[in-house]
Amino acid sequence: MSEIKNRIDFVYMFDVKDGNPNGDPDAGNLPRVDAEIGMGLVTDVCLKRKVRNYVQVAKELVDGYDIFIKEKAILNDSIDASHKDESVKAKIKSGDKTEAARMVMCRNYYDVRTFGAVMSTGKNAGQVRGPIQLTFARSVDPITVTEHSITRMAVATKQEAEKQDGGNRTMGRKSTVPYGLYICHGFISANLAQQTGFSEEDLSLFWEALKNMFDVDRSAARGLMSAQKLIVFKHDSGLGNAPANKLFDLVKVEKVCDGAPRSFTDYSVTIDKERVPSNVTVEELI
């Protein structure tokens, strides 16, 4: 596999229509909001979950692309299994079995070599700092959280069915964002990629996941979520040639409609390519 030798920074934009992109369990599962200024938030954990789900579906039968953090997974079983690998057994006498187990986990699990993991809860496979890190996604404009009353006509028990005057109906609430455009910033370290074995092929799969992950993660609660822009800044060196924040400042998102935005076409996205350093290349993958 091809080794990653360049630092990469990227801007990822996605939007939501009539859905809840990331519910907050501490607030009745309402869409996450910056309480001071009303901007919508989507956590990095939420986005990584969607990447994992996509890879799990796309590479289900391919060796080396299993997912460590997945639904109902018993993490210690996976960690303990790494110690049964022959490469780990060979290190028992030298005392390097934890490092050997760490590399087995990186080799077998895509999300470990991509995002990192703490694997010291079982027989100990150490810790991994992942080469890809994401920020929270933040909406361009303040969002409006709308609550809707919903009704369930079916009943769960015979006693409920015997109630009169419509008493068998169950009322509930559903919270949505009418529209929101969110921006997430990401960073890819060439140095950490070499340590975990994260390759150019793995990177291509990551870009593929960002483009398509919402299409394999549909739910009534999330409404219509779509990937809209993926802008990649690739440095000429492993350490980088410009501060990430300066590159991100070259991407401008401006509202072009008069009222409240309700689609991606209500925004204009531009890149000031003339100010991009000569030793950094910029590419729009979406």
| Higher-confidence position of 148 and 247 | 247
The CA-CA-CA angle for residues 33, 36, 42, to 5°, reads 25
What is the value of pTM for the model shown? 0.89
Buried b (16+ CB within 10 A) or exposed e, 191-204: ebbebbbbbeebbe
pLDDT at 253 over 70: yes
| Residue-wise pLDDT tens digits, 196-236 | 999 999 999 999 999 999 999 898 889 999 999 999 999 99
CA gap 173, 137 in Å, rounded:
25
Residues 6+ apart with CB under 8 A from 149: 171, 172, 173, 174
Q: How far is CA 204 from the centre of its chain?
A: 15
Q: Which residues fall within 8 angstroms of residue 85, CB to CB, at 6 or more apart?
A: 100, 101, 104
What is the average per-residue pLDDT within 150-156? 74
Q: What percent of the chain has pLDDT over 70?
A: 94
According to the model, what pLDDT value does residue 174 have?
86
**How many angstroms separate the CA atoms of 135 and 258, rounded?**
30
